Structure 1
Amino acid sequence: MTLGGRFHRLFGATLVSSVGTGMHATALPLLALQSTSGPIALSLVVVAAELPWVLASLHAGVVVDRLDRRRVMVWADLGRFAVLVALVALILTSRVDLLVLVFAAFLLGLGQVFFDVAAQSAIPDFVSRDPGSLATANGRITAAESVGEDFAGPPVGSALFGVGNFLPFAGNALSFAASGLLILSIRTDAEPEEKSDVPRESVWTDIVEGVRWLVGNRTLRALAVVSCLGNVVVTAQFAMLVLLAKEVLGLPDSGFGLLLTATAVGATAGGLAAAAAAKRFGPGAVLLTGKAGVGAAVLVLGLAADAWVAAAMMMVTGALMTAEKVVVSTLRQRIVPRGLLGRVLSSSRLVVMAGGPVGAALGGVLAGAFTVQVPYVAGGVLLILVALAFYPVLNNRALARATDEPVG
């Protein structure tokens, strides 16, 4: 399927930007360990990178709906470029401390929030609202994110860090500059909103409108809840994975890395195959089978004692999770009016991201109270039950009715 030059520029920008994100996601903790060896310091850097999703995602949705989405992406890339240039200068002058790293991680995470919300909201402008085109575009974008953030970025970032601790950040700055230039070259057919003398609503009013749209639409509400519960289980899975790998599977550090690589392999394949699967079997079948399949894979992972079985289950988890993500993104883009897409997307992402810390905490509590396998078994059973419980709302027939509704 041909998606056009505008999409290919967005794809290229996403790939380049994701490589940069993968580079600094690896290099920032390494730099933190050079500055201070305490685990609390390392956790502060990680928390700072994730915090913008909680604090700024709703406001990002308002900005994305009010402004040219391409320019929001360009400004996000330009901002991250500036942060990294400043960080490189501080590294070269030996003026980096924990406060600088936490602030840099927060600003880079903030830029990613605005870029991601704008990019997802802009896909229908660059392609169309045709379900096949949207699914293909979302699948390729998701695959590009997986390749950049999980495959290319981390090893390149760590290798460059070994040569010179400033190099991954300098290379990352160049990646964001290239991404911004690619986005800037895109032209869109989307018509600008007509100017009006009526005073613009407040930011809070716009946020509430997006939240109400999400809560008031049965399908979108179900998608957000299902995705949140999936995030709870998957976060618990990854939080306890290093213990499972060492205590149960008996793997060395390199073996643990291979489990993560298996997930990335599956995610890339799932992103590329999602559109064809949705066309062949229907989006509801892909979504519900994927959710139950992730549950089964996590359950088997908790019961497995063989490293190869565990790697296969990680690959299955990555593939099905990504296919689900593509289906959810496509459905949201088809259902939500263009002028609300940024706010509804950011509201949904906030609900989904809230499952992360819950999953991490539950995984630790269950593993501490029982064994490390218990969070996997419990999480796997939960996802299978979730797929059954949401079948009436998210089956193919129900989704066909939901997407037949007119969109703006």
Structure 2
Amino acid sequence: MLGRSFGFLWSSTGLSNLADGVLKIGAPLLAVSMTRSPTLVSLVGAAATLPWLALALHAGALADRLDRRRVMVVANLARAGILAAATVLAAYGLLDLWLLLAAVLLAGVSEVFADLSAQSVLPMTVPPERLTQANGRVSTAQMIGNDFVGAPAAGLLVVALPAALFGAPALLYAAAGLLLLGMRGAYRLPASPAGRRPLRHEIGEALRYLWSHRVLRSLAVTAGLLNLANAAYFAVFVLWAVGDGSMIGLEPGEYGLMTTAFAAGAVFGSLLSGRAASLFGEARTLVGAWLTTSVLLLVPVLVPSPWTLYPTAVLWGLVGAAGNVLVISTRQRLIPPEMLGRVNSAYRLVGMGGMPLGAALGGVVAEFAGLAAVLIGATGVCLAAVGLVWRALSDRISGPLTSQPTLSDISRSR
């Protein structure tokens, strides 16, 4: 058993990710109903991820200073308030594309603080030997909420009741924040006997640790390239897939079902990740998952049909979730507890900081070169990134990722 506090954390995760799923799919679909410009539609994805570039380092540093559970409570309630205001605007017909972008951007700011604190609070909630199991369950809850339930709900709401695209997530975020109050225990690190150093010093220490650690550095750079390319791909993929003039010709509700198929695969991938790592090795499983996901990006481009899209989405979810569980568990084991929030934030800045640029770039390139050029180009970047991490981790392909290097090893890898 993972304990009572984990149960509250897991339940809160499920509700907040259900809200994420409605917003993640609903906002681009609502944007498509306002404009067919690839550049403008891609701004939705850029707005959702821009806060990671601007705030990740400071959010991580604060997670190491403050009560991590309290940060999550405040962030969830803030998201609820922002989306409640957007609900009122939508209900009165006052919501335009620019207000939609503002709501997505502000909700993204709260997401940075909530997510970084969540990844840092989990190792304080379960024993180290249960981390992979706990992360697998958390990842399952995320996928079910984000894609299995939230995505198809968004596809229906955008047609039937657009205001509920914001109202439903607002209620879910509020409930998620209140559930966290049921967790018992201390979720704030002990104060250093030497006192607190300036925030910039603590952030600098985290950046140096990440860059000096060969495994973490390689994973972060690869994740950054993959996320940049995927942000460009999926920022315009909705135009490739949805509408009468699209290549696949899906209705909004059918687009939501695609992400349900993704979630179905992700649930199995999250639960099977530990077994796959024990059979094939952590590094081989991770690199194989990233390679498979990258190759699968070509399928909707070469064979643009619902009959190929849905099984491809299942495989996207399966291998993507398996890789995600392994990466998160690896970081939680390798990073010292007193630096977990800061180094996690540095990792995610490198790993996710390029997403707003990728989303915006995808829209601009599609405007001038066409959607297919973006989709194929993004796939090429993903394959190149997997090749880089394969070379960097070649000595660990048949072994574990989580063996901690000595200080001399770290010095030599700089």
Q: 2:210, 2:216 within 8 Å by CA — same for their partners in 1?
A: yes
Q: State the partner residue of 2:86.
A: 87
- Residue 137 of structure 1 corresponds to which residue in structure 2? 134
Aligned residue in 1 for 2:8: 9
Quick one: structure 1 residues 55 and 37, their matched pair in 2 at CA, closer, same or farther if it must change by over 3 Å?
same
Aligned equivalent of 2:70: 71
Unaligned runs of 5+ in 1: none
* Partner Cα separation in structure 1 for residue 394 and residue 58 of structure 2: 33
Task: Give the aligned partner of residue 199 of structure 2.
Answer: 203
Identity, in percent, stands at 34
1:272 aligned residue: 271
Equivalent residue runs for 1:151-166 within 5 Å: 151-166=148-163
What's the Cα RMSD here?
A: 3.5
What displacement does 1:215 show?
0.6
1:230 and 2:226 aligned: yes
1:299/1:379 contact within 8 Å kept = no
Deviates more, 1:366-375 or 1:82-91: 366-375
After alignment, is 105-114 or 373-382 more displaced? 373-382
Deviation of residue 380 (structure 1)?
6.1
* Counterparts of 2:284 and 2:239, CA distance in 1: 34
1:149-204 CA deviation, whole Å, 9 max, x = no partner?
222123324434545443343322221121111111101366741465x5522221
Which residue of 154, 174, 178 maps to 1:181? 178
Q: Which is further off, 36-45 or 133-142? A: 36-45
Q: 1:385 aligns with which of 377, 384, 387?
A: 387
- Could you give the per-residue CA deviations for residues 23-64 of structure 1, whole angstroms, max 9, x where no partner exists? 233444566678x65746655444332221111111110111
Deviation at 1:234, TM superposition (A): 3.2
Distance of 2:383 and 2:345 partners within structure 1: 29
Q: 1:142 to 1:70 in 2, by over 3 A?
A: same
Aligned length: 400
1:101 corresponds to which letter in structure 2? L
Paired position in structure 2 for 1:214? 210
TM-score (norm 1): 0.84
Matched residue of 1:200: which SS? coil
| Distance (Å, rounded) in 1 between the aligned partners of 2:174 and 2:87 | 15
AA aligned to 2:179 is L
Moved over 6 A (4+): none
* Residues in 1 aligned to 2:303 and 2:335: alpha-carbon distance in whole angstroms: 42
- Deviation for aligned residue 1:384: 5.2
Mapped partners of 1:243, 1:48: distance in 2:
18
- Whether 1:122 and 2:118 are equivalent positions in the alignment is no
Paired position in structure 2 for 1:327: 326
Higher relative contact order (CA 8 A, sep 6+): 2
> C-alpha distance in 2, partners of 1:303/1:91?
38
- Say if 1:54 and 1:86 are closer, same or farther in 2 by CA, change over 3 A: same
The offset of 1:102, in angstroms, is: 3.4
Distance 1:96 1:330, change over 3 A: same
105-114 vs 199-208, which deviates more?
199-208
Q: How far does residue 348 in structure 1 lie from its aligned partner after superposition?
A: 0.9
List per-residue Cα deviations over 1:280-313 (Å, max 9, x = no partner).
3331221122123234434566555775445433
Q: Aligned with 2:401: secondary structure?
A: helix
